Chain A
Amino acid sequence: MSVIGSTAMRFDEEQSMLLDYARSFCADRGGLNAAREHLETPLEYSPGVWDEMVAMGWTGIGLPEELGGSGLSIGAAVPVAESLGKALMGTPLLSTLLAAQLLLRADSKAAAEVLEGIAGGDAACVAELESEDWSALPRTTVIDDAGMLQGQKRLVMDATSARWIVVTAVAGADTALAVLDATTLDDDAINPRVLIDNTHRAADITFNGVTPLAVISGASVLAALRDYRLLGALLVAAESTGAAAACLDVTVDYLKTRKQFGKLIGSYQALKHPSVDMLTMMDSARSFVYHASSLLGSEPLDKDQEVACRMAKAQATDALKFAGDRAVQFHGGMGFTWDCDAQLFIRRAQGAQQQFGDAQHHRQRLAALLLDD
């Protein structure tokens, strides 16, 4: 068997419609001007836009119909995430979809009420990190003998807008999930952080004896957590791929209009060739995310799916990092300013690297999957 493995690329009518629709919706409601309006505000999106997404059923992607979902595979979220990224839209959609996947895969019955709420439009998030180590399991966040949640979580994406919070915790000797209603937290429990990616929001959360709505434990939690991390990597990869495509557009437009030394700067090979590198890196990222999307179902992720998600993340965030980096450089003095859109991309790129593991983190795990049998 070749180390290259599956190269499946399937795409059906339903996905095609979703892709078309997501692209035009996000281009219409999002974009650079819209992103800029929210850069220095507590919320990174307009509540009206969120309501529209809910009305289209996007929060139900990946959830079965009996829970109010669309019945589509979570892979269908890939074109939506890509479209969000292309329009630099920061909504809690990805966090919400991922929280739903974690609950669904851990114990859909215990979490049915929350999953139905999500399908109906409640935002949700997952509180996981306790340190800078992406792969660590919870250690200091615990469910105490009284069944109360104690501890602290870091860099919880979209914590400020979530109605439901899924917290990884230690319960006895097990890793468990505590499902919280955000309104039961202390007033000062959520502390927003200052992020390098100013189009997204994240916060630390302190739990001083909160009573969870539900606690899920058992073997399914670890498997669900593993899948959640891989799906998170994939959706951030899709989002980053979209952002890289937008970054390329912005940069190429500039290269076609800016003159120096009497010539359009896009005619210089020193700028042309790295622009092609931006394109090919983005193209590879798109191939990986669509490939992963083609493979996904509702079952626990197998080796091919894990490989696909990790490759997508490693490639996409590197592609965005390179694109953002070159975008700032190619804009010259302008590129160093707040007003130049290049800053939005390089900051987004650095933020995306740090979600669900950077490229090296995933390559290290890919090495074990691909080279050691």
Chain B
Amino acid sequence: MNAAVKELEDFRREVASWLKANKPADPGFLLPQTFMEVGSEEQLEFLREWQHKVWSAGYLGMAWAKEHGGQGVDAIYQSVVDQEMRRQAVPICFNVIGLGWAGPLINDIGTEEEKQRYLKGILSAEDIWCQGFSEPDHGSDLGNARTRAERDGDDYVINGSKIWTTMGNYAKYMILLARTNPEAERKYDGLSFFLAPMTVDGVSTRPIRKLTGEYGFTETFFDNARIPADCLMGGEGAGWKIAMKTLQYERGAEAGAAGGLAFVRIVIDDLIQQLRDVTRDGKPVLEDPLIRDQLVSLIMEEKAISLGDRRSGIPALTSDYPMSLPLSNKLRWTEYARRMRQFAINAQGADGALFVGDDRAREGGFWQRAYLNSFSATIGGGTSQVQANIVAEHVLGLPK
């Protein structure tokens, strides 16, 4: 074993034992499985405390500079942390828009001043971030954003509204895409990108109730909200390019995230475990030939995605369509997750009809809630249909 490998192994053991010792006890309420499901103050405070604790221990932002609150070591250390977090099924690090998208963006293209101002608060969970891309009339069609930002002295004045703002009611900052020039020849050139404070007059949010009955996002309104001009990132008219870069983080084609467990990965083993004690035709449902055939198909689908991750790191084995695996990852994983959870409910038999709040619901209605919530991933960040267009156009070269 060479020195670097040994160092990593020592680090892995250290992380594992820290997590074991510090993993929070069951709080007695259902915890969010993804950052898009934080819907109550008690969940928020629980998760904020947890993320702060992980960061204080030195396990978030491993690859970010020390002066910005990170650890200044190789990104491989973050992968080790994330793997151990997943393995021990600890709660998520919920400030995902900050950790995964806004933070990496600021780290990559931000000024030194922006890095000083924002990065540490993201890691410590002091500053929650949200994303202002989608608008009520055009979800995935970002090029048509209508929210206005007009320069007035040292400020920009924002008017309009954004929707599906995850954690909009808790966020201190928003990455905001707004139109600075409605006259621009190309609509894309009229867009600008802001690191916008949410705590100014004229910004208000209305919680939106989800299909699960919970709250998790908001509609956000800007009514002559004044934000300082230095919130503009990268110059007027550069908004589209920066938004696209942000989406690359979001869609997983580019690394750079500060790490932490972003969502609870519900794997096929969890499902199989459940199927062992459900009965159908007087026998365990796991013995039903049709269920078995479908279950094996799901196992294969999950394994294929894992193998694809491995393969995407070996250039010789991806030569036909080098961008295929990274670009289709979001599409494949989220579609798989939704169908797998739906299958889990069906396999419960009559009790599949129960929901969270019923005391006979299996695992407190975990699968029912997970299924309904799973649409947030096949719709959010670009619907699967939009993702499929992206793969078709960028990987297969099909015309727009």
Residues of A within 8 A of B (CB): 2-5, 7-9, 11, 16, 19-20, 245, 248, 252, 255-256, 263-264, 266-267, 269, 272-273, 275-276, 279-280, 283-284, 286-288, 290-291, 311, 314-315, 360, 363-364, 366-367, 370-371
B267 CB within 8 Å of chain A: yes
Residues in chain B near residue A311, CB distance under 8 A? 300, 303
10 interchain pairs (CB within 8 A)?
A2-B267, A4-B299, A7-B303, A7-B306, A256-B399, A264-B399, A276-B396, A367-B296, A371-B272, A371-B296
Partner of B398 from the list A266, A280, A367 (CB cut-off 8 Å) is: A266
> Which 10 residue pairs are nearest across A and B when measured between Cβ atoms?
A284-B304, A287-B307, A9-B310, A367-B292, A266-B398, A272-B392, A363-B296, A267-B399, A264-B399, A276-B388
Contact B286 A245 (CB under 8 A): no
Residue of B nearest to A4 (CB): B303
Count of CB-CB pairs between chains A and B under 8 Å: 135
B380 CB within 8 Å of chain A: no
Residues in chain B near residue A9, CB distance under 8 A? 307, 310-311, 314, 317
The residues in B between 286 and 326 inclusive whose CB is less than 8 angstroms from any CB of A are: 286, 289, 292-293, 295-297, 299-304, 306-308, 310-311, 314, 316-317, 320-321, 324-325
Contact B321 A279 (CB under 8 A): yes
Q: Are A367 and B396 also in contact (CB < 8 A) when A3-B269, A279-B391, A287-B308 are?
A: no
Contact A273 B328 (CB under 8 A): no
Q: Are A280 and B293 also in contact (CB < 8 A) when A9-B314, A272-B398, A311-B303 are?
A: no
Contact B300 A315 (CB under 8 A): yes
B213 CB within 8 Å of chain A: no
Contact B268 A273 (CB under 8 A): no
B6 CB within 8 Å of chain A: no
B186 CB within 8 Å of chain A: no
17 further interface pairs, Cβ-Cβ under 8 Å (given A288-B300, A291-B307): A3-B272, A5-B303, A7-B310, A9-B317, A20-B316, A266-B392, A266-B399, A267-B400, A273-B388, A276-B391, A280-B332, A284-B301, A287-B304, A287-B307, A315-B304, A363-B293, A364-B293
Residues in chain B near residue A11, CB distance under 8 A? 314, 316-317
B264 CB within 8 Å of chain A: no
Residue of B nearest to A17 (CB): B316
Contact A314 B300 (CB under 8 A): yes
Chain A nearest Cβ from B382, distance in angstroms: 14
Contact A279 B293 (CB under 8 A): no
Partner of A280 from the list B267, B328, B389 (CB cut-off 8 Å) is: B328
B111 CB within 8 Å of chain A: no
Partner of A288 from the list B302, B307, B332 (CB cut-off 8 Å) is: B307
Residues in chain A near residue B282, CB distance under 8 A? none
Residues in chain A near residue B304, CB distance under 8 A? 283-284, 287-288, 315
Residues in chain A near residue B272, CB distance under 8 A? 3, 371
Total interface residues on B, CB under 8 Å, equals: 44
A137 to B293, alpha carbons, bound, how many Å?
A: 24
Contact A370 B391 (CB under 8 A): no
A7 to B299, alpha carbons, bound, how many Å?
A: 13
Partner of A276 from the list B289, B297, B308, B328 (CB cut-off 8 Å) is: B328
Contact B321 A269 (CB under 8 A): no
Residue of A nearest to B395 (CB): A279
Contact A252 B397 (CB under 8 A): yes
Residues in chain A near residue B301, CB distance under 8 A? 284
B248 CB within 8 Å of chain A: no
Q: Are A371 and B295 also in contact (CB < 8 A) when A7-B306, A7-B310 are?
A: yes
A160 to B296, alpha carbons, bound, how many Å?
A: 38
A64 to B301, alpha carbons, bound, how many Å?
A: 36
Partner of A283 from the list B292, B293, B324 (CB cut-off 8 Å) is: B324
B385 CB within 8 Å of chain A: yes
Contact A276 B392 (CB under 8 A): yes
The residues in B between 226 and 264 inclusive whose CB is less than 8 angstroms from any CB of A are: none
A363 to B292, alpha carbons, bound, how many Å?
A: 8
Contact A283 B389 (CB under 8 A): no
User: What 0/1 readout, one digit per residue, does chain B (317-351) give for beta carbons within 8 Å of chain A?
Assistant: 10011001100100110000000000000000000
Residue of A nearest to B310 (CB): A9
Chain A nearest Cβ from B33, distance in angstroms: 19
Chain A nearest Cβ from B280, distance in angstroms: 15
Chain A nearest Cβ from B180, distance in angstroms: 31
Residues in chain B near residue A263, CB distance under 8 A? 399
A295 to B396, alpha carbons, bound, how many Å?
A: 31
A266 to B392, alpha carbons, bound, how many Å?
A: 9
Contact B269 A2 (CB under 8 A): yes
Contact A252 B396 (CB under 8 A): yes
Chain B nearest Cβ from A82, distance in angstroms: 10
Contact A255 B293 (CB under 8 A): no
A20 to B392, alpha carbons, bound, how many Å?
A: 26
A5 to B302, alpha carbons, bound, how many Å?
A: 11
Partner of A4 from the list B267, B324, B325, B393 (CB cut-off 8 Å) is: B267
Residues in chain B near residue A275, CB distance under 8 A? 392, 396, 398
The residues in B between 110 and 164 inclusive whose CB is less than 8 angstroms from any CB of A are: none
Residues in chain A near residue B296, CB distance under 8 A? 314, 363, 366-367, 370-371
